[in-house]
């Protein structure tokens, strides 16, 4: 993601010029630019930059007599000597500020006048040559004639031609998206064409030249595009603010506050456990990843991460509800810079004919401006493969696997092209294994042949048998705004991102997630799986374990109160374990008395209350055994998001809370059968 630079000529101008550096840093900007520095001394500016740890992104060479209406002198015949002196003056400021690019204004003159044209070329060649000696780029910016009537360089094509003709390596285009939209429009295609020669980008809303929010241009989309194109320079925020500080800036704030907060990959998961699995897969494949619980509040501050997985519960809700929730999540992710959004579905394509994969995929494609979406539930690691559009689970076609008897969504058809067609408004295509084996270029060509306009296709099922197929698909998908798939496609996307060199951490950095949090530690168990029961027996040898009485737990609050007071007496001396877990006979007895769902739910409520009380009493390191038990506890604790850390056991990473009301906590949320016999001590050894 680019670094955003506050334009101090236009922003924070309730302050004196030098104080605007402090204000920009205070607002979270890492860089600044302005039209002209020349009323302050180079030393004073250098001091403000250093004091605030700010980078100087850009400023203009002197513009001639601004008060008299001059807007640069480069294209004015007879001013060459003055221009030479201006270059030296600007270089003094460049030396003090460390700036790597300067903008040369052309002036008010007719672009078709030969004298003006040759004066301009002479000035440009001279200035670029002199700046090259200092390792500085010279920028030329086309400016629209509405804001600056009569300005010489009022056309992007003319700037591009001049830069090509001069052939100077440090002569570059200053791409102001605001001016581009007013002069020519067609911003995205122009970015794709011109970013290779651009040395700087600037932004503002069109037409009012205010904050980039909600007018003619879709800036979240453009930021994604700039990112996809691999631009790593500055983006100057040269708008005139409506309010006085960034607090009035709504969605733009997270972008502006820190360039590094923008994310590369977004995902919307259709259920929580799927989200955890994907988040863990992304982390293991080199992305710093956050998993949110629902769509977070706009004010949630994210740490520096590459990917965010928004967990929703939309797998089995009516399609219209799923579409509404998924598109809101998509907006949230795009607003944080996500260039690509993966709709995470189950690797068994869990859905009905009225189901959600088709409608959500189409809605996400539409929200991102159309285009064909790659769809694949393949995840070879867990035996899910797709061949000629047919999904295999282990060695069996989907419709012959146990999934044919799934209680909510029985799967009777292995042909996913047919399954997805029944869920979709538009046609569904297939990219078969032969094409995928031929590499990303072949897949791209195949996708192009499916464009909606020519073939009426929005989604294509993609085959994949080996991880390398998913890596190919990931690489292609990254160039599109949306894909749909399981954790396997997440693996492909993560590896493609790491290969592209766009991951600033250069691979997995989970160390940040396990920084010590201190506080007390506890283990709460609600899983009745064999593995958990054995883990509890082992734990009993080294820590106090309280076995709850399930019948008393259902009878009233006394058992909960007794458990909390039991824990209170012991917990300051070391970790304690509280378990509802019981052997199958006890579980069946309770279930026959109260019903399977009711008893399970009541015990989840009880264990979640106990967990919340423990946290209230200072527990900050928490291990929870049981998938549903964990979900209920996390909901009660109202934890908005987690940073994914290293795995304690396969499939069980350490989680660090983000935005938690009680401060940072470390959690291990373990599904029943996961982990070795000493899982609890192993988990607490990592969580300090």
Q: Are the CB atoms for 272 and 655 separated by under 8 Å?
A: no
Q: Does 551 bind ligand ADP (CB under 6 A)?
A: no
Which of 529, 535, 608, 611 is in the footprint of ligand ADP by CB under 6 A?
A: 529
In whole angstroms, the minimum distance from the beta carbon of 309 to ligand ADP comes to: 20
If one asks whether residue 577 binds ligand ADP (CB under 6 A), the answer comes out as: no
Give whichever of 202 and 581 is closer to ligand ADP, judged by the CB atom.
Answer: 581
**What is the Cα–Cα distance from 389 to 411, expressed in whole angstroms?**
15
Residue among 339, 660, 388 at smallest CA distance from 502: 339
Cα(625)–Cα(286) distance, integer angstroms: 27
* Nearest distance in Å: CB 24, ligand ADP: 49
**What Å distances lie between residue 644 and 177, 288, 509, 546, 653, CA to CA?**
36, 7, 10, 29, 7
- In a 13 Å sphere around the CA of 551, the CA atoms on its Cβ side amount to 6
| Nearest distance, CB of residue 599 and ligand ADP, angstroms | 5
Q: Count of CB atoms within 10 A of residue 195's CB?
A: 17
Q: How far is the CB of 422 from ligand ADP (least distance, A)?
A: 32
391 is a site residue for ligand ADP (CB under 6 A)? no
Candidate ranges 21-29, 187-195, 523-531, 644-652; the one touching ligand ADP (CB under 6 A): 523-531
- Specify the stretch interacting with ligand ADP by CB under 6 A; choose among 95-103, 358-366, 388-396, 586-594: 586-594
Interface pick for ligand ADP out of 236, 474, 492, 672 (rule CB under 6 A): 672
State in angstroms the smallest separation of the CB of 585 from ligand ADP.
10
Q: C-beta of 604: minimal distance to ligand ADP in Å?
A: 4
Residue among 275, 334, 671, 687 that touches ligand ADP (CB under 6 A): 671
- How large is the angle between the packed helices 596-616 and 627-637, nearest 10 degrees? 50
- Residues in contact with 19: Cβ distance below 8 Å, sequence separation at least 6, in sequence order: none
Q: How far apart are CA 116 and CA 113, in angstroms?
A: 5
Whose Cβ is closer to ligand ADP: residue 600's or residue 675's? 600
Interface with ligand ADP, residue 629, by CB under 6 A = yes
Interface stretch with ligand ADP, choices 155-163, 223-231, 514-522, 627-635 (CB under 6 A): 627-635
Position closest to ligand ADP via CB: 672
Among 206, 587, 654, 666, binds ligand ADP (CB under 6 A): 587
Tell me: does residue 155 bind ligand ADP (CB under 6 A): no
Q: How many CB atoms lie within 10 A of CB 680?
A: 27
Cβ nearer to ligand ADP, comparing 142 with 550: 550
> Residue 360 to residues 54, 224, 315, 344, 440: CA-CA distances in angstroms?
42, 20, 10, 11, 25
Q: With CB under 6 A as the contact rule, which of the stretches 51-59, 83-91, 393-401, 625-633 interacts with ligand ADP?
A: 625-633
Closest contact distance (angstroms) between CB of 9 and ligand ADP is 58
According to CB under 6 A, which one of 31, 201, 497, 582 is a site residue for ligand ADP? 582
Give the one residue of 259, 376, 521, 527 binding ligand ADP; rule: CB under 6 A. Answer: 527
Rule CB under 6 A: say whether 626 interacts with ligand ADP: yes
Residue-wise burial string across 395-425, b where 16 or more C-beta atoms lie within 10 A, e elsewhere: eebbbebebbeeeebebebbbbbebbbebbe
| 533 part of the interface to ligand ADP, by CB under 6 A | no
Q: Which two tokens stand for residue 318?
A: 């009516």
> CA-CA distances (angstroms) from residue 17 to 32, 70, 242, 244, 423?
12, 22, 18, 15, 59
By the 8 A CB rule, do 42 and 93 touch? yes
Q: How far is CA 138 from CA 129, 135, 524, in A?
A: 9, 10, 63
Residue 442 Cα distances to 118, 451, 482, 630, 641, angstroms: 48, 15, 19, 44, 39
Residue 276 binding ligand ADP, by CB under 6 A: no
Residues between 35 and 54 that touch ligand ADP (CB under 6 A): none
Nearer to ligand ADP, 530 or 688 (CB): 530
Mark 595-614 with x for binding to ligand ADP (rule: CB under 6 A) and - for no binding: ----xx--xx----------
Residue 428 near residue 457, CB atoms below 8 Å: yes
- Cα distances from 415 to residues 116, 406, 452, 459, 483, in angstroms, run 67, 17, 22, 14, 19
Q: Which of 12-20, 178-186, 373-381, 623-631 is the region at the interface with ligand ADP (rule: CB under 6 A)? A: 623-631
Nearer to ligand ADP, 229 or 612 (CB): 612
Q: Is 581 in the site for ligand ADP (CB under 6 A)?
A: yes
Cβ–Cβ < 8 Å for 61, 102: yes
Q: Decide if residue 580 touches ligand ADP (CB under 6 A).
A: yes
Residues that bind ligand ADP in the complex, under the rule CB under 6 A: 526-529, 550, 580-582, 586-587, 590, 599-600, 603-604, 626-629, 671-672
């Amino acid at each position: 993601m680019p670094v955003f630079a506050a334009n101090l000529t236009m922003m924070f101008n309730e302050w004196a010029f030098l104080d605007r550096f402090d204000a920009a840093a205070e607002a979270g900007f890492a860089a600044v630019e302005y039209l002209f520095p020349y009323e302050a001394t180079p030393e004073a500016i250098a001091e403000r930059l250093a004091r605030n740890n700010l980078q100087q992104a850009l400023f203009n060479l002197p513009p001639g007599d601004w008060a008299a209406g001059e807007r640069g002198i480069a294209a004015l015949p007879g001013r060459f000597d003055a221009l030479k002196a201006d270059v030296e003056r600007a270089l003094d400021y460049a030396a003090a500020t460390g700036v790597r690019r300067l903008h040369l204004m052309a002036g008010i003159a007719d672009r078709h006048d030969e004298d003006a044209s040759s004066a301009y070329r002479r000035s440009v060649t001279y200035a670029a040559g002199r700046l090259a000696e200092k390792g500085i780029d010279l920028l030329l910016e086309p400016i629209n004639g509405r804001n600056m009537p009569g300005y010489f360089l009022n056309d992007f094509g003319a700037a591009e031609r001049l830069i090509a003709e001069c052939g100077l390596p440090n002569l570059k285009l200053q791409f102001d998206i605001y001016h581009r939209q007013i002069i020519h429009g067609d911003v995205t295609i122009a970015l794709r064409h011109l970013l290779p020669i651009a040395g700087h980008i600037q932004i503002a809303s069109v037409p009012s030249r205010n904050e980039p929010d909600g007018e003619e241009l879709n800036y979240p989309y453009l930021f994604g595009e700039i990112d996809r194109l691999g631009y790593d320079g500055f983006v100057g925020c040269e708008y005139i603010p409506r309010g006085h500080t960034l607090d009035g800036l709504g969605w733009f704030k997270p972008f502006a506050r820190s360039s590094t907060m923008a994310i590369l990959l977004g995902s919307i998961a259709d259920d929580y456990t799927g989200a955890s699995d994907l988040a863990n897969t992304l982390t293991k494949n080199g992305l710093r990843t956050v998993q949110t619980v629902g769509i977070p509040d706009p004010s949630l501050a994210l740490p520096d991460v590459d990917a965010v997985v928004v967990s929703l519960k939309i797998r089995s809700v009516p399609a219209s509800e799923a579409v509404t929730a998924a598109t809101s999540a998509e907006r949230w992710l795009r607003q944080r810079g996500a260039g690509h959004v993966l709709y995470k579905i189950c690797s068994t394509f869990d859905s009905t004919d009225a189901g959600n994969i088709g409608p959500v995929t189409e809605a996400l494609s539409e929200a991102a401006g159309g285009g064909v979406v790659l769809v694949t539930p393949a995840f070879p690691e867990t035996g899910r493969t797709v061949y000629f559009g047919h999904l295999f689970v282990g060695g069996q076609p989907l419709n012959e696997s146990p999934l044919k008897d799934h209680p909510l969504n029985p799967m009777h058809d292995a042909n996913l092209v047919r399954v997805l067609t029944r869920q979709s408004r538009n046609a569904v295509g297939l990219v078969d294994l032969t094409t995928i084996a031929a590499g990303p270029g072949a897949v791209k060509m195949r996708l192009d042949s499916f464009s909606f306009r020519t073939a009426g296709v929005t989604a294509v099922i993609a085959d994949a048998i080996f991880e390398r197929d998913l890596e190919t698909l990931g690489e292609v998908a990254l160039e599109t705004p949306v894909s749909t798939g399981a954790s396997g496609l997440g693996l492909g996307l993560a590896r493609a991102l790491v290969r592209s060199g766009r991951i600033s951490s250069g691979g997995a950095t989970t160390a940040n997630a396990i920084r010590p949090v201190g506080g007390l530690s506890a283990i709460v168990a609600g899983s009745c799986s064999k593995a958990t029961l054995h883990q509890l027996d082992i734990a009993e040898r080294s820590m106090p374990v309280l076995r709850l009485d399930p019948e008393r737990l259902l009878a009233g609050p006394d058992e909960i109160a007794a458990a909390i007071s039991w824990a209170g007496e012991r917990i300051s001396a070391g970790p304690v374990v509280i378990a509802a877990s019981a052997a199958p006979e006890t579980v069946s007895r309770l279930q026959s008395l109260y019903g399977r769902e009711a008893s399970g739910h009541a015990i989840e409520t009880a264990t979640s209350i106990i967990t919340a009380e423990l946290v209230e009493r200072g527990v900050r390191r928490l291990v929870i055994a049981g998938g549903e038990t964990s979900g209920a506890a996390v909901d009660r604790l109202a934890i908005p998001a987690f940073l994914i850390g290293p795995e304690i056991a396969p499939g069980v990473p350490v989680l660090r809370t983000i935005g938690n009301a009680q401060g940072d906590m470390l959690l291990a949320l373990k599904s029943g059968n996961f982990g070795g016999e000493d899982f609890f001590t192993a988990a607490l050894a990592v969580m300090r």
